[in-house]
Amino acid sequence: MNHRLPVLMGRHVLLREPARQDAGRLFEYASDPRVTRYLAFDSPRAVEDILEFIAECERWRQQDREYVYVIADRATDEALGVIGLRHIDPQLGTAQVGTWVRRASWGTGVNREAKALLFDFAFGPLGLHRLEARIATVNERSRRAFERLGAAREGTLRESFRKNGVVLDQELYAILASEWAARKVAGHQAARPGAGRSEQEESRNPSPATRDSHG
Ligand SMILES: CC(C)(COP(=O)(O)OP(=O)(O)OC[C@H]1O[C@@H](n2cnc3c(N)ncnc32)[C@H](O)[C@@H]1OP(=O)(O)O)[C@@H](O)C(=O)NCCC(=O)NCCS
């Protein structure tokens, strides 16, 4: 894609391409080992690693290799995490979804709304019909989050992932365009109330959807 990715506007978050001014926040959030525990990359060593990642995102987009979005608070435009499509195969009409969100936004609906925006984009303008996720079997939080959006677990990819020298199984999840469309007709909400509110707002006026959970 030679032109930039479209901004995907949600009620509480928006998805836009990463920018250099996101580097400080992304560095801080990705430095939390709870965030990178089951990710293919390790926590960055310096903010320059994030700047390099941001430059790579631009190259990957031009090659139609990966479409990477920053998840940003709609009100403040502050980065909250990253979501993207990789292994995009226009011939097969498939791609893989990857997401990480800063620890303070877990359980707030940010992830759910971001994924819903990405699914709408992938199954709509991009014309894909199948989105996959490969999730470490032990990453129950991420598995549950994907299941709650209607994805089906299709099987176990045995010893398909290695993190910090430990070999792990992954679960293969997928959602089809037809399933996503049916969910929307059935009226499933893309986001819970309270999604995307700032930590300050949350502490002033906690939402029942916001809870401290492990992961
Ligand atoms: C994966 C991630 C984006 C999900 O976002 P989130 O805000 O934490 O997820 P959600 O709140 O939307 O959903 C989590 C679900 O798992 C449940 N859950 C939480 N901890 C759990 C656990 N230990 N076991 C099982 N379920 C758990 C929650 O209750 C929630 O389910 P519910 O909606 O039915 O209540 C976020 O946790 C993250 O950034 N993790 C680190 C990066 C990562 O591992 N990414 C995935 C790589 S495949």
Is the Cβ atom of 111 under 6 angstroms away from ligand 1? yes
**Both tokens assigned to 97:** 């979804």
**How far away, in angstroms, is 139 Cα from ligand 1 center?**
8
Atom 17, ligand 1: residue with shortest CA distance: 141
**Both tokens assigned to 201:** 């707002």
Torsion angles phi and psi, residue 47, rounded to 5: -60, -25
* pLDDT tens per residue across all 215 residues of the chain: 878 999 999 999 999 999 999 999 999 999 999 999 999 999 999 999 999 999 999 999 999 999 999 999 999 999 999 999 999 999 999 999 999 999 999 999 999 999 999 999 999 999 999 999 999 999 999 999 999 999 999 999 999 999 999 999 999 999 999 999 999 999 875 544 344 333 333 333 333 222 222 22
Strand order in the sheet with 13-16: 8-9, 13-16, 66-73, 79-89, 94-101, 130-136, 166-176, 152-163
Is the Cβ atom of 15 under 6 angstroms away from ligand 1? no
**How far away, in angstroms, is 91 Cα from ligand 1 center?**
31
CATH topology of domain 8-188: Aminopeptidase (3.40.630)
Whole-prediction pTM value? 0.88
Please list, in sequence order, all residues whose beta carbon lies within 8 angstroms of the beta carbon of residue 42, skipping any fewer than 6 positions away.
36
Rounded distance, CA 30 to CA 103, Å?
A: 9
**How far away, in angstroms, is 145 Cα from ligand 1 center?**
5
**Both tokens assigned to 51:** 């700047």
**Both tokens assigned to 160:** 């398909």
